[in-house]
Chain A
Amino acid sequence: MGRFFINCDEASILSTREQYGDLNPKEAFRHKLHQGHCIRCRSFHKNNERFQRKLRGLKWVTLSDSQKDSIKKRIAASMKK
């Protein structure tokens, strides 16, 4: 994709991908360029960043692999019955 200019739909997806650190330098540049002239996408990006900060602030707890394995074993045993 050699073009510099992207539309708002593409920009909003790039904004989301940026929250997960998934943009390569070219995509990051295109996104910045688009934001430079699109107020709506700039505003969306700010909200998206704010939302991401909130998500990061939340303390998620997850099951460890061993906990998952233990539950899977119980399910498997129960399914055999």
Chain B
Amino acid sequence: MPEVKLIPEKWVDRYGDYLFNFTISRVNDPIMAQDLVSETFLAGLKSAHRFKGNSTERTWLISILKRKIIDYYRKINSNKGKAEVRMSYLSNSDQEGDWMEEKAQDLRNPNVEDTIEQEELGKALEECIACLPERYATIFVQKTIDNLETETICKEHDITASNLWVIIHRARVQLMECMNKKWHKDN
């Protein structure tokens, strides 16, 4: 396996949106999500000397972020003295932070099922993206989530447009297979 080098200057552009998405679907607060992403990068800088290059930069940053999210919930739980249930920021941004008991009645709302399915799908996709090779994942996210221009991505990665489309195509094929497997496994 080739040695992986950390390039902190590119972290925000390469992984910022992915980590932000990952966080916001778990902490239900955009400001806190931004803080956690920011803290993750800073923690990454501090512990850069411990990075052995055994995993990719992205996997390593996600593992740091996961620990940050766990710490965040630990802090909340210790402050409030009871477990807080994560609710969807995406579906009910005007009611963020509500408790499960208050939300339970909404389950009769037909839109809730769609929202739950969307959330599950989003999480499954995140997990599948995490299984992609680093380069595929970065380019797929930049093109599909960030909607960056083909030319911009090509310049950043020093590849041709044909190469970019082959990478995106392969990433999509792997993602479709991964999603299918997850779907059959879970149902």
Contacts and interface: CB of A to CB of B under 8 A. Distances in A.
Interface of A: 12-13, 16-17, 19-20, 22, 47-48, 51, 54-55, 57-63, 67-68, 70-72, 74-75, 78-79
A60 B145 contact: yes
A79 B45 contact: yes
Interface string B68-97: 000000000000000000000010000000
26 contacts: A13-B169, A16-B169, A16-B172, A17-B165, A20-B144, A22-B165, A51-B172, A51-B179, A54-B121, A57-B121, A59-B118, A60-B21, A60-B145, A61-B20, A61-B24, A61-B30, A62-B146, A68-B13, A70-B34, A71-B38, A72-B12, A75-B8, A75-B9, A75-B11, A75-B45, A79-B8
Contacts of B125: 55, 58
A57 to B, nearest CB: 6
Interface in B1-40: 8-9, 11-13, 16-17, 20-21, 24, 30, 34, 37-38
Interface of B (DSSP majority class): helix
B174 to A, nearest CB: 11
Nearest to B42: A78
Nearest to A81: B45
A59 B122 CA distance: 8
Contact of B16 (A20, A63, A74, A79): A63
Contact of B144 (A47, A55, A71, A79): A55
Given A58-B125, A63-B16, 12 more contacts: A20-B143, A20-B168, A48-B172, A51-B179, A57-B121, A59-B122, A60-B17, A74-B38, A74-B41, A75-B8, A75-B11, A79-B45
A69 to B, nearest CB: 9
Contacts of A68: 12-13, 16
B91 to A, nearest CB: 8
Nearest to A12: B169
B139 interface: no
A40 to B, nearest CB: 13
B65 interface: no
A67 B125 CA distance: 24
A58 B122 contact: yes
Given A71-B37, A71-B41, A59 B172 contact: no
